Structure 1
Amino acid sequence: MAFLRSSSGFENSMILRGRSVWLRAPMLGDYADWAELRAMSRDHLTPWEPQWQRDELSRGAYRRRVRHYQREARDDLGYAYLIFSEADDRLIGGLTLSNVRRGVTQTSVLGYWIGKPHTGRGYMTEAVRAAIAFAFDTLHLHRVEAATMPSNAASIRVLERNGFRREGFARQLLKINGVWEDHLLHALLSSDVRGDGDAEVSAE
């Protein structure tokens, strides 16, 4: 099995693999590489993210972040991954499937970021493809949702390349870098996806 059962739910032990990337859950030992990549990419990332806190890149803030991710996975509420290049195992970004809802919904929300040195190489397209396989084949979700600012052309391309369909427009949906921003709404259904073998999931 790709999950380890704990008393409260699941612990995410999966490695997701795509053509040029692999993904695994963040660990405390990733702090230095994570902080370095986020720091050098700050100007690239802040226009698309919630406002950074004063201690955003501190070791303590990262530790709290990882513990939050671990609780979310145990309770089947969300799954966070760091993204690594297949060629050299270098950390290049991150991805989350958050706000997992069960019952009659079976849905989650996709989010992602990539470090500035690694943009434009197709890494995020492959990472999202691997996450979609995990969402539908392992979590057995019915629907994955994503929201993008209309000006974020690169993020929109990632979604479109993975088959997401634009479904609507939400006014001032999220507070991004201190400002309430409009977002385009996208979604992908499990029935939209054809198994092509491009992504695989393994437990290691």
Structure 2
Amino acid sequence: MPRLPFRLRSARRRTPELTGARVVLRPPQQSDFSAWRALRAHSRAFLEPWEPKWPSDDLSATAFRHRIRRYDRDRAEGRAAPFFIFLKSSGALAGGITVGSIRRGASESCMLGYWMGEPHAGQGLMQDALAVLVPHIFGALRLHRIEAACIPENGRSSRLLEKAGFRREGYLHGYLRINGTWRDHLLYALIAEDWQAARGAAKASE
């Protein structure tokens, strides 16, 4: 396989691994293909109701190679920071989370997207991932606002965001085409000042 251009390899190296209580976040690599394909295939029925429709070749090696190159390009150009989520205890792949749609200038904001494999859902692992990623977004990435959207029926996602300190801000009609159908979404957001105030209050109560 051809080597990545230098700027893409450099961007991947500059992105740190983020270590939380039970998870480790790191940039996706081509060597993750087998684990990614196995987890996504096993979790397909679990994930499809909440994601864009899967292409027919979505789980192929070729599609994954293009995915990794797109991740690297987006990272190098400052548009996104994708991570895979691994279990700290075993190194097993559990899911993914992406800091996407990064906007600079007057906005300094991003949009979160995330997924968790079915065997690892409901265990608080995505909460652990957010606990280590949010400080990275407000600190190293120097963004001011994090947005996330979820389908109203996805109560698990709403509870995740609310527990992480996100505030519900609006209702987006026909926002994304999910599994072939345009779906409404709830818009959540967290800004740096609110996160810093909550962190300060938590420290003061210790």
Q: TM-score if structure 2 supplies the norm length?
A: 0.89
Amino acid in structure 2 at the alignment position of 1:169: Y
CA distance in 1, matches of 2:187, 2:121: 23
Query: Which of 29, 35, 43 matches 1:41?
Result: 43
Q: Which residue of 2 aligns with 1:77?
A: 79
- Flag the structure with higher strand content: 1
Residues 1:116 and 2:118 aligned together:
yes
Displacement, 1:13? Answer: 2.7
Question: Is the contact between residue 93 and residue 114 of structure 1 (CA under 8 Å) also seen in structure 2?
Answer: yes
- Whether the 8 Å CA contact 1:8–1:75 is kept in 2: the answer is no
Distance 1:8 1:58, change over 3 A: closer
- 1:159-170 map, 5 Å: 159-170=161-172
Taking a change above 3 Å as real, the CA distance of residues 80 and 7 of structure 1, as seen in their structure-2 partners, is closer
Unaligned residue ranges in structure 2 (runs of 5+): 1-5, 201-206
Counterpart-to-counterpart distance in 1, 2:24 and 2:15: 13
User: What SS is found at the alignment partner of 2:162?
Assistant: helix
Pick closer, same or farther for the CA change 1:9–1:89 going to 2, 3 Å: closer
CA contact (8 A) 1:147 1:184 kept: yes
- Rounded Cα–Cα distance in structure 2 between residues aligned with 1:159 and 1:16: 19
Equivalent residue of 1:14, what SS?
A: coil
> How far apart, in 1, do the equivalents of 2:130 and 2:59 lie?
25
Cα deviation, 1:64-88, whole Å, max 9, x if unaligned, reads 0000000000011001000011111
Partner Cα separation in structure 2 for residue 6 and residue 17 of structure 1:
25
TM superposition shift of 1:6: 3.9
CA distance in 1 between partners of 2:10 and 2:33 (Å): 26
Partner of 2:59: 57
Calculate percent identity across the aligned residue pairs.
42
TM alignment of 1:5-16, pairs within 5 A: 6=7, 10-11=11-12, 12-16=14-18
Report the Cα distance in structure 1 between the residues aligned to 2:151 and 2:90, rounded to whole angstroms. Answer: 32
Q: TM-score scaled to structure 1, two decimals?
A: 0.90
* Contact 1:77-1:98 at 8 Å conserved across structures: yes
Q: Is the 8 A contact 1:21 1:126 kept in 2?
A: yes
Render the CA deviation track for 1:100-149: whole Å, top value 9, x for unaligned: 00000000000100000001110001112211111101000000000000
- Between the aligned partners of 2:133 and 2:96, the Cα distance in structure 1 is 11
Q: Which runs of 5+ in 1 are unaligned?
A: 197-204
* In 1, Cα distance between equivalents of 2:47 and 2:74: 24
Greater Rg by CA: 2
Describe the SS at the equivalent of 1:77: coil
Residue among 189, 192, 199 paired with 2:191: 189
1:103–1:74 Cα change, 3 Å: same
